[in-house]
Amino acid sequence: MTDSIVKAFEGILKGDQEQVAEHVQLALDEGTAPREILNEGLISAMDRVGVLFETNEYYVPEMLIAARAMKAGLEILRPELMNAEVEAVGKVLIGTVQGDLHDIGKKLVAIMLEGAGFQVVDLGVDTPPEKIVEALKAETADIVALSALLTTTMMNMKGAITSVEEAGLRDQVKIIVGGAPVTEEFAREIGADGFAADASAAVKLAKTLMS
Ligand code: B1M
């Protein structure tokens, strides 16, 4: 890990947005690969925050400021993770399910999909099934991507799929799911068309479904 990546990592733990942005930029200027900065600096720092929360060293406010700092780094990386040259290959509606406020993983998946040429409509966090159905009626999307970070909210993915079925739209769209507690088996159980463990896998899955 380079010194700049270490400083970005430490900046997230301290919730220092400026330190994170500065050192992510520095790492890029030094020629470090964007994926390396993302994985070793930003994502691993959030994993560490999760551990500190579990061991009661961090509480919700610390998690929140760490998330803001992570987002400051992600914004610097965004153009590097995207490739504007590629043609639109499909349209994806993405949202974090009802009751769930975690948005970083969803945002990262959205950025990577855009980078792979997908047009992405971000429905935000705490997305009720009705909002997904309304958006599907308004946009001609190929894929709906659902994110959940809590064991308590992942069941709301099933509710979202049921609502799409009840609206008579299920055969027009593929529904894919992901997020830390979600598994391949769970995706099958709730009738999703696919599961992706991370943002790269989500891009691969979306491309496969489009073909
Ligand atoms: Co929360 N939180 N949180 N939190 N939080 C977790 C998820 C937790 C694991 C922490 C812990 O205990 N170790 C735990 C969940 C336990 C469980 O259910 N098993 C937890 C808890 C308990 C809570 C609260 C209940 C705490 C409380 O209030 N007592 C509360 C719930 C609020 C709510 O949602 N209703 C809460 C609140 C928050 C904050 C708001 C403070 C903040 C989020 C701020 C924000 O997002 N703007 C927060 C944070 C930051 C975390 C951790 C520390 C970090 C999450 C993150 O951003 N990771 C998290 C611990 C952890 O994950 N290590 C934790 C980085 C991100 C890049 O990874 O989101 O996993 P991730 O996304 C990945 C993959 O999962 C996948 O690709 C992404 C990129 O590779 N993926 C998809 C995600 N979505 C996908 C969709 C797809 C495909 C792939 O579509 C096809």
Q: What is the pLDDT of residue 82?
A: 75
| pLDDT confidence bin for 58, thresholds 50/70/90 | very high
- Average pLDDT of the residues in 27-39: 93
The Å distance, Cα 182 to ligand 1 centre, comes to 12
d(CA 210, ligand 1 centre) in Å: 28
> What is the full DSSP assignment across 97-163?
BTT----HHHHHHHHHHHHTTEEEEE--SSB-HHHHHHHHHHS--SEEEEE--STTTTHHHHHHHHH
pLDDT band for position 61 (50/70/90)?
very high
Best probe residue, ligand 1, of 37, 81, 102 (max atoms within 8 Å of C-beta): 102
pTM of the model: 0.91
Q: Which tokens belong to 16?
A: 């220092």
Q: How many CB atoms lie within 10 A of CB 22?
A: 18
